A and B are shown apart, each in its own frame.
Chain A
Amino acid sequence: VKKLFGVTLGVLSAIGGFVDIGDLVANSATGARFGMKLAWVVVVGVIGIILFAEMSGRVATLSGRPVFDLVRERLGPRAGALNLIGSLGVTFLTLTAELAGIALAIELITSVNYLLWIPACALVVWLIVWRVKFDVLENVFGIGGLALLAFSVAVWKFGPDWGSLIHDATHPHVPGGEGAPTYFYWAIALFGAAMTPYEVFFFSSGAVEEKWTKSDLFLNRANVYLGFPLGGVLSLSIMAIATLVLQPLDVDVGSLSQVGGPVALELGKLGLGILLLGFIAAVGGASVETAMSVGYAVSQFFGWSWGKLVKPAAAPLFHTIVLFAILAGAAFALTTLDPIKITEYSIVFSAVALPLTYFPILVIANDPDYVGNKTNSWFTNFLGSIYLVITVVAAVAAIPLMLVTKAGS
């Protein structure tokens, strides 16, 4: 059983990190708009996050050094600080969106306006970071998030014409009536959502919190190879059900109820109930992850003690940063800015921050000082280099495309 639970870090990273509010919105919105014609981006994103999460987990397991340690180490004080500020900005925006996301899911259940729920959500998220043990939060959120499989069940129950779905997915093209810039803008949004930097901040720090050692390297692989593909399947399911139900109706996804609506149509009240549970677990897990990732990034950059292995009094700066991040995120969410819009911006900006995060990981995963004889294979380096080029292209194109397409509208 312990081994079974050993993969929950990956499941949490996958459910709460991969399938978070960003993926729920991006996959649903692109499915409703482009059908499965952007499904390839999800596959590219899953392979990318597998590649770099495995490297970061391996480095953290063998050296005890999580990602932001490496960022500072390889990029130096200036470029490292630039990455810190960029990553913090993106992760903070994501945290805001996740907090609002939990509140929106509770609004769907209670019909009480989401703004009223935000302070309570923020308090619960903080209490979890303050008091709950790392493996408990992994298990609860990871397993609760599996309820999102309702999306996959809904697709299956719909009984789609699989041939045409797969044909769409394997023959990507810009659909008629849409401009190429809009298509590629959404491609970058999906890519940013899949490879959000905080996933590796959290996963690598989690490996240290879980005290993984050399003999746990198989856990690292098991987590990565099971967790993220599971997240990919969920993402594609969300996109598929949006393609099947929302696209014919010409829905422009702008709320969480539209993301979940198709599941309610297919599976009824019970299905919707399970789905909402999954929403809360996935988005709640992601809130905790993003809040802690803000603390991890700053603490690791400056070399302070961090994490949940020690009592809060032994990592005071880490807990101060997490607390203020949650407070500021809740305050920002309470400004009534549209949470779906915040989400869309956060994933596009995260595409901009990708190269500076993934470059140091690739370098250090080849450094025997850190990983001994477990350096990257030539194949991993080959793929990793290709992905660095992809992330640079996405990062450079993201903002211009955002301006040209008026954020994909």
Chain B
Amino acid sequence: MNDERRCYIGLHLLDRQLVDRDGRPAGNVDDVELSDEDAPTVTAILCGPAAYGPRFGGRLGHWIRAIHRRLVRDEPVRIPWAYVARIESSIALTAPRRDLGTTALDDWVNEHFIGRIPGAQHASE
């Protein structure tokens, strides 16, 4: 993003694609964490249903969060702001995706299902 322009949380951060150090998709910005100061700053990016649910709002949003809490945990995945390298059409991060914690579902599905189907380890020929 152009540095001379302001960065709006709603316009330039929320719902943007996260991309890890190696350029691989690593989730979406579901919410942000602000510091508790008079002039708040963004301290972290929050990901996962625990962040998405409240932003979705209403009864359905509440359910999304409640189901996630019973299945996994209540807190969203937290990516410290220090990991953010650039804000472009996506948010580039300095860490590899396995260190972010946003890919738990990905990993689970891979380990228990997709990874077991023959050919899963080979790129298309």
Q: Taking beta carbons and an 8 Å cutoff, which residues of A are in contact with B?
A: 63-65, 69, 72-73, 76-78, 80-81, 130-134, 299-306, 308-314, 316-317, 319-320, 368-370
CA distance A302 to B102 in the complex (A): 11
Determine whether B67 belongs to the interface, using a CB cutoff of 8 Å to chain A: no
Q: Is the interface of A mostly helix, strand, loop or mixed?
A: helix
Q: Which of B21-29, B36-44, B68-76 contacts A (4 or more CB under 8 A)?
A: B21-29
Is A64 touching B57 in the complex (CB atoms < 8 A)? no
Bitwise, B38-63 to A at CB < 8 A (1) or not (0) is: 00000000000000100111000000
Is B15 touching A72 in the complex (CB atoms < 8 A)? yes
CA distance A272 to B39 in the complex (A): 73
Q: Taking beta carbons and an 8 Å cutoff, which residues of B are in contact with A?
A: 1-2, 12, 14-18, 24-28, 30, 52, 55-57, 88-90, 102, 105-106, 109-110, 113-115, 117, 119-125
- Residues of B near A76 (CB, < 8 A) are 14-15, 55
- Residues of A near B89 (CB, < 8 A) are 63-65, 369-370
Is A77 touching B124 in the complex (CB atoms < 8 A)? no
If A63-B89, A77-B15, A303-B26 touch, whether A313 touches B124 (CB-CB below 8 Å) is: no
Is A64 touching B90 in the complex (CB atoms < 8 A)? yes
CA distance A264 to B105 in the complex (A): 52
Is B124 touching A132 in the complex (CB atoms < 8 A)? yes
- Residues of B near A316 (CB, < 8 A) are 106, 109-110, 113-115, 120
Is A311 touching B121 in the complex (CB atoms < 8 A)? yes
Is A304 touching B114 in the complex (CB atoms < 8 A)? no
If A78-B56, A316-B114 touch, whether A65 touches B90 (CB-CB below 8 Å) is: yes
Contact of B114 among A72, A302, A313 (CB under 8 A): A313
Q: Identify the interface centre among A63, A73, A319: most chain B CB within 10 Å of its CB.
A: A73
Closest to A134 in B: B124
Closest to B89 in A: A63
Contact of B109 among A69, A72, A320 (CB under 8 A): A320
CA distance A302 to B64 in the complex (A): 14
10 cross-chain CB contacts under 8 A: A63-B90, A132-B124, A133-B125, A303-B17, A304-B106, A305-B24, A311-B120, A311-B122, A312-B120, A320-B113
